[in-house]
Amino acid sequence: MSESVWAARAGDLLERTASADPTPGGGSVAAVVGAFGVGLLTMAVAITADGEGVGRHRPALDGLRDRVARAADADTRDFEAVMSAYRMPAEDDTEHDARTRAIEQASIPATEGPLDLAAGLLDALTLSHELEPGVKRNVVSDVLAGRDVIAGAARAALRTADINLAQLERLSSPAAPGLRARRDELAQSVEDAA
């Protein structure tokens, strides 16, 4: 998939997601869904339009939405880098070692990206609790729906990190312990904020 997921019509994106093409995959879909969840929070703030009340969070929400949305295409690029490493030849020890190093090097950003996505979504979850009591009553349900969507997207992002993290652990990568600790901390924080 060479063009941005954001260039596709929703129906086309759904069809591509349901096809045999591996992209967009779980991380990209988590980012798309998460961005829509943040969009629901932003909508509730826009409808409330109270300036210094919840309205003061609009710049933060816009930044979070952009951050989460960018992760959709980044995940696809990271996935393609991992697959490129797996396609390297491994006919002899030298090629095998080079392939293993390339897989490790590609798997690190493929783990960090979904963790960064989960962290952004966690920020949005945390903010949703602050917004809930301050928005107009008729849009509280949108804040709650946004929170649920964001929490699901964060969990999906962690699942995407897990597959790459498992590969790093199998390779005994020095990056694995720190990424595992970050992943576990994020997972607990997401559950606490959901």
What is the average per-residue pLDDT within 68-78?
96
Host domain of residue 170: 27-193
The CATH number assigned to the domain holding 149 equals 1.20.120.680
Q: Residue 3 falls within a domain, yes or no? A: no
74-96 pLDDT per residue, tens: 999 999 999 999 999 999 999 99
Contacts for 56-63: CB closer than 8 Å, 24+ residues apart? 57/127, 57/130, 57/131, 60/127, 61/124, 61/127
- Note the residue count of the chain: 194
95-122 pLDDT per residue, tens: 999 999 999 999 999 999 999 999 999 9
Q: What is the per-residue pLDDT for 50?
A: 86
Cα dihedral 10, 14, 20, 22 sign: positive
* pTM across the whole model: 0.94
CB atoms within 10 A of CB 25: 16
Q: Residue 9 falls within a domain, yes or no? A: no
Q: Residue 13 falls within a domain, yes or no? A: no
> Is pLDDT of 51 > 80?
no
CB atoms within 10 A of CB 162: 16
Do residues 143 and 131 make contact, with C-beta atoms less than 8 angstroms apart?
yes
| Coil/strand/helix, residue 23 | coil
Q: Residue 171 falls within a domain, yes or no? A: yes
> Is pLDDT of 1 > 60?
no
49 band by pLDDT with thresholds 50, 70 and 90: confident
Enumerate residues 6+ apart whose C-beta is below 8 A from 161.
111, 114, 115, 118, 179, 183
Q: Residue 119 falls within a domain, yes or no? A: yes
23 band by pLDDT with thresholds 50, 70 and 90: confident
How many separate helices (H) and strands (E) can be counted in the chain? 6, 0
Q: Residue 169 falls within a domain, yes or no? A: yes
Q: Residue 19 falls within a domain, yes or no? A: no
Q: Residue 136 falls within a domain, yes or no? A: yes
Residue whose pair of structure tokens reads 């293993």 in the numeric block: 100
Number of domains in the chain: 1
